[in-house]
Amino acid sequence: MNKNVFGKKLGEIIDRRRINWLLLCEYNNFPPVQKGVKKKIQKRQQYLEFCTSTLSRIMPSSPELKTQKNSNLNSTLNLKQTEMDESRFKHDDYNTWSRNQLISRLKELERLSSQQEREREQEQKEISGNEKLMNLKRGTRESILHLDKRGNSRDKEKRTAVPRLFDPTKYSTRFVAFKLAYFGKRYSGFEFHANNPTPLPTVEEELWKAFTKAKLIFPHPSQAVGSWEGCEYSKCGRTDRGVSAFGQVIGLRVRSNRPLGRKRGDRDRNVPPMKNEEEIDSYKEKCGYSEKQSPKKIVTESFNTLPRENMVELAAEFLSPREQNKAAEFTKKEDNDIEHDISFDPVADELPYIAILNRLLPPDIRFLAWCPAPPLDFSARFSCRERQYRYFFTQPCFIPIPNSIDPFFKPESATKDGFLDIEKMRAAAKLYEGLHDFRNLCKVDASKQLDNFVRRIYHADIEEVSETSSTLEFLNSASFQLSKYDSNSKCPKVYAFVLHGSAFLWHQVRHMMAILFLVGQGLEDASIITELLNVEKNPRRPTYQMAAETPLVLWDCIFAHEDDTERSEKLQWIYIGDTPGTADMKYGVPTGGLMDDLWRTWRERKIDEILSSSLLGLVAGQGESLANLNGRPNGKGRSQKVFDGSDTPKLQGKYTPVMKKPVMDTVDMINQRYAIRKGFESSTDLKEQGFRRLNNPGPDHNVESDIQV
């Protein structure tokens, strides 16, 4: 490269760097995202001075540096090169030139003129482009961020991520059990019904969304929302709308972190064999995936978490001795041609299921534990040996009236409006224990065609729950208490109806609690329970109202061995934080753990309780003293208040005893009428032919047991 060409290139570099430097200097406020930009400008200025000195040394006379003033630029260097060879053509006298010399001279001048014109146009374009950049609004960060090394603004093309279809064949699966808790006030029950839309979401629907989003289950793209097909799903209890659970259990097969086994001599094989291209194209057309969206290798049959051909399965022994002879059906014969990773720890190396799911679930649904090896033939519904419920209520159950204005108050009375007789309720609860027919203490679901309502209750009692609420001092005064009131006792108190049983009918616990409330208020004797359990004498249920749903909690589900009379838990639950190195999942460091989530929920409700109790106590102490208050003369004619577990009592006028209320039809009549309405001759005909088709029960359906509350 000669000096002229090199000088021209170097001049262009100097010009561009000078423009960039001047442009950045024009913006006094450098963008904060460009850290160290001033140092870069200083280095660029030093490099500019070096190039200028180099140019002056190698080309002392040939290039001419032209400076053009501009309103926005301090100076712009433009190198000009003159390629006229003065020694070739002499200007002394054109008269002595021949015709051919004159023509050559003319062509040379035209060529140089055209070249200079092009150079001027190019310079004008560069100056015009720089002026546009300089006229941009000062301080605009985007203008400087997009300046490239040549001083031009250029937007980077946004690369759109091409969605890829998840390939289930690359992953092994395992059957596990999960224990979870949820507050049911915001949900329409636990179970999701695809063809029965509800005003509120269901807990099961939220679980399905979380498992699907985490790619722990692989529903087919055409599969309906909430469908657990292909993952061996089962649930323990089906709580109703508003009912909470602190020990709900589900079982299903999910994606595992364990590597798939490899055939010996085929160590390079990463995934199982794929189908041919024709099946892939057919699948893409069926699912509506474009060429960019669908992967090259898809197996349509693998959108499930069923056991893989070359995987390891962990399971505990059967919970029932009668099932031991079926162990061979669940034990796969080991394939000697398959190599497995023996270093894989089924707990420590597994996916953090609890942490993954809790990040995707609403704050009122949280997983608590998981079982890595449930028993063989495990079903969360039918393997459960005991279900525990708790129904919470306060004492007093509603705001009492001062004795001075209470028309029903009697000093010698053992009851008072708003207060429950806890001892009578305890005695009545014990009558529930044992094996009984509870058809008069539940709601009959005709679609299930049940004829067996016998259930066993292991334990029933009223227990005090300590340290749960703020004390309302005004309730401890003698004006609100009975004469036998213990002054050392503080009000209000919280109690719970604790109930343990093998299985429960639809709304059974709420009907049992409603009767206990009537006994506690003195409206019924404890013998009412004996009357309702005697189905031979009373085959038709009286039309009494069941208790409210919000205070009810499915407390725990116990999976014990069938021969264990103590019903001790056999599932090896791994609670969140138990795995070494995962304590932050329980106690977030600094935040984000399960306890941190629950604390926020508790504190929000605790502050509401403190504020409401403070206001209640403030209003109770304002105005005239209780001794000076007078009630209305016609106060004795008011309606009877009946407590049902809700926030306010129900007014029922003159109370009618339960056994004198209108009665419903017998169970046989209810089932018969439903069968005829569905087009069958009788209830027996429906059971023999079509009730499974009508109800379309899931894999955990059982005619003999409907575990709803």
Which residue numbers are catalytic? 240
Please state, in angstroms and rounded to a whole number, the distance separating the CA atoms of residues 418 and 398.
Answer: 5
Torsion angle of the four alpha carbons 111, 117, 119, 124, in this order, in degrees rounded to the nearest 10: -170
Residue corresponding to tokens 């021209």 = 8
- Chain-centroid distance of CA 344 in Å reads 29
Torsion angle of the four alpha carbons 587, 590, 594, 600, in this order, in degrees rounded to the nearest 10: 120
Please state, in angstroms and rounded to a whole number, the distance separating the CA atoms of residues 617 and 72.
Answer: 74
Q: In one letter, which amino acid is 549?
A: E
Q: Are 520 and 649 in contact (CB under 8 A)?
A: no
- Side-chain-side CA neighbours of 374 within 13 Å: the count stands at 24
| Rg (the chain; Cα; Å) | 42
Please state, in angstroms and rounded to a whole number, the distance separating the CA atoms of residues 293 and 179.
Answer: 37
- Side-chain-side CA neighbours of 535 within 13 Å: the count stands at 15
Please state, in angstroms and rounded to a whole number, the distance separating the CA atoms of residues 22 and 44.
Answer: 11
- Chain-centroid distance of CA 271 in Å reads 30
- Chain-centroid distance of CA 209 in Å reads 7
Tell me the backbone φ, ψ of residue 486, rounded to 5 degrees. Answer: -85, 120
Please state, in angstroms and rounded to a whole number, the distance separating the CA atoms of residues 536 and 6.
Answer: 114
Q: Are 575 and 402 in contact (CB under 8 A)?
A: no
Residues 6 or more apart from 482 whose CB is under 8 A from it?
A: 413, 414, 416, 419
What tokens were used for 50? 């070096």
Q: Are 707 and 379 in contact (CB under 8 A)?
A: no
Q: 581 in the Ramachandran plot: left (φ > 0), alpha (ψ -120 to 50) or beta?
A: left
Q: Are 459 and 420 in contact (CB under 8 A)?
A: no
Please state, in angstroms and rounded to a whole number, the distance separating the CA atoms of residues 444 and 667.
Answer: 7
Please state, in angstroms and rounded to a whole number, the distance separating the CA atoms of residues 490 and 473.
Answer: 8
The percent helix, strand, coil of the chain (3-state, each to 5) is 35, 15, 50
Residues 6 or more apart from 419 whose CB is under 8 A from it?
A: 395, 396, 397, 400, 482
CB-CB neighbours of 330 under 10 Å: 13
- Chain-centroid distance of CA 609 in Å reads 27
Q: Where are the beta strands (DSSP E) in 530-634?
A: 552-558, 574-575
Question: CA-CA distances (angstroms) from residue 139 to 22, 144, 305?
Answer: 15, 9, 56
Tell me the backbone φ, ψ of residue 102, rounded to 5 degrees. Answer: -65, -40
Peptide bond into 492 cis (omega under 30): yes
What tokens were used for 398? 């509603």
Q: Where are the beta strands (DSSP E) in 342-452?
A: 365-371, 386-395, 434-437
Please state, in angstroms and rounded to a whole number, the distance separating the CA atoms of residues 24 and 141.
Answer: 11
What tokens were used for 298? 């898809």
Please state, in angstroms and rounded to a whole number, the distance separating the CA atoms of residues 87 and 538.
Answer: 133
